[in-house]
Structure 1
Amino acid sequence: MPRLAAFCGAVVIGAAIYCLIYNMLAGYQETLWNALRWPIVNLVPFIIALEHARRCTRWTQRSIFIGIAITASLLLDFAIGDGESVAFELTRRLPTLGLSYALLLIGDARFAAAPAPARLSDAMTLPVPAEMVDQVRAAQNYVELHIGDRVITHRATMAQMERALPQDSFVRIHRSRIIRRDRIAKIGCGTVILNCGTELGVGARYRAHLN
């Protein structure tokens, strides 16, 4: 969050300086408030939304964040008293809307095209000791490390996590899930039941791993 706030601040200051210089060279007089207002209203909500949306696994979830950004941008615009009709302001934000989805698609494509790195040590890959992890779930460009009631989001692939976690303590049961062996209470036909009572499906290609 501090890094995101710092980035937003840098974008606002950079865009404001650009606006001031551009208008000065064009012969127009621009106030510092107007120069700051434009990036705060039109850029910051989308930057924050993209940071959260890129961590989501579903496009419906991503669209919710983008929709919140549009709503926040409109409310800020009208609160300041500079907005025109809602239809006009929505139309004016269509390029930003398209750019937001394009950036998410580019991020997905770059992650999918990236070659799997060589085997990494636990210290380089895991943000917490392996013995603290109950299970790992895939989350688009990230993985979710489940530690009791806590969930830590970490940028890695499931293949990386499978290599990094001790194979005698963890087993991959699905392309999107790795669990601790000692959390398994019962192995069924295509499922496993954890000590907490949760039943999880086992992918066909991973069933032999449970033996």
Structure 2
Amino acid sequence: MTGLLERIFLRPLPSLQIVQIAVGLTVVTAAYCLAYTAFSGNMATLQEAFFWPIFNILPWFLCFEFGKRIAGWPRRLTAILMVLVGMAALDSLVANPLSLPAGDLLFQMTRRIPGAALVGALFVLTEIAKHYALGKGPASGALVEPDDLPLVASQILWVSAAGNYVELHGPEKPVLHRAPISAVERKLADQGFVRIHRSVLVSRRAVEKVVNDLVILKCGQQFKVGNRYRSALA
């Protein structure tokens, strides 16, 4: 899988990049609206031109980006439904500030079904991209080039060293990331992760209990604590 596809479908974008893309989408779409309406002979106002992408495009972009940060289809479908209903309700209230007509709300929801379907299709492509990477990458993991971690901290339960790589373990299949475990430890130092072995890093929120020198995670995974890491775990 190319780095570009990984960034689009697998990696959550940094906050600054999300803002840059959102601004770019808004400006480009607004310019298109102005040009299109000008040629049609009924030119839109500047406010109308910017209103359309803000209410019809940006929410779906943010929904897809949020979906990359959560695992499981129920949560993703819930996010799509919430965005669809929220956008429809907001659009209806803007058109009718004193009321929320059921018929108009239903219409607004219906016309946003294509956008919801597109985001759902992108999530499907995300899963396909993951499986493609899992088939191509070594050690049956999705191979991701060095830089930012391909998963956010809340998605990671534990990290295990794998030669020149680390395996990031979450609710789904492990993601293979090209970086030493010491570098990943530094990145996650302020995210509640603790080193319990020279080759294992765990999230404190994923720990069920500690029995003697054994760490038991909520998912059932168990690790033996290395002698030099006992104090850090305590």
Q: Which has the higher contact order (CA 8 A, sep 6+)?
A: 2
1:198 is displaced (CA, Å) by: 5.0
| Contact 1:53/1:65 (<8 A) preserved | yes
Letter in 2 for 1:116: G
The structure-2 alpha-carbon separation of the partners of 1:55 and 1:101, relative to structure 1 and needing over 3 Å to count, comes to same
Root-mean-square deviation (Å): 3.8
Q: TM-score, normalised by structure 2?
A: 0.57
**Cα distance in 2 for residues equivalent to 1:117 and 1:34:** 51
Task: Measure how far apart 1:186 and its partner are.
Answer: 4.5
For the 8 Å contact 1:170–1:179, the answer to whether it is kept is no
Deviations 1:50-84 (A, max 9, x none): 11112221011111221221133123312321797
Correspondence 1:135 to 2:170:
no
1:116 correspondence with 2:143: no
Give, in angstroms, the shift of residue 165 of structure 1.
3.1
Query: Unmatched 5+ residue regions in structure 1?
Result: 128-132, 142-156, 172-177
Indicate how the Cα distance of structure 1 residues 78 and 109 shifts in structure 2: closer, same or farther if over 3 A, else same: same
Q: For residue 102 of structure 1, report the CA deviation from its aligned partner.
A: 0.3
The reply on whether 1:40 has 2:47 as its aligned counterpart is no
Say if 1:198 and 1:57 are closer, same or farther in 2 by CA, change over 3 A: closer
Partner of 1:50: 64
Structure 2 match to 1:87: 106
Q: 1:94 to 1:25 in 2, by over 3 A?
A: same
Q: Tell whether the 8 Å contact from 2:71 to 2:171 is kept in structure 1 after alignment.
A: yes
Letter in 2 for 1:100: V
Identity rate, percent: 21
Q: Given the two structures, how large is their TM-score scaled by the length of structure 1?
A: 0.63
- Give me the whole-angstrom Cα distance separating, in 2, the residues matched to 1:170 and 1:202: 15
The whole-number CA distance in structure 2 between the counterparts of 1:199 and 1:27 is: 63
Letter in 1 for 2:170: A
Secondary structure of 2:69 counterpart: coil
User: How many residue pairs are counted as aligned between the two chains?
Assistant: 165
TM-aligned CA distance change 1:67 to 1:193, over 3 Å = farther
| Per-residue deviation, 1:29 | 1.9
Contact 1:16 1:36 (8 Å CA) reproduced: yes
Match of residue 33, structure 2, among 8, 19, 26: 19
Give the distance between the partners of 1:33 and 1:126, measured in 2 at CA. Answer: 37
- Secondary structure of the equivalent of 2:170? strand
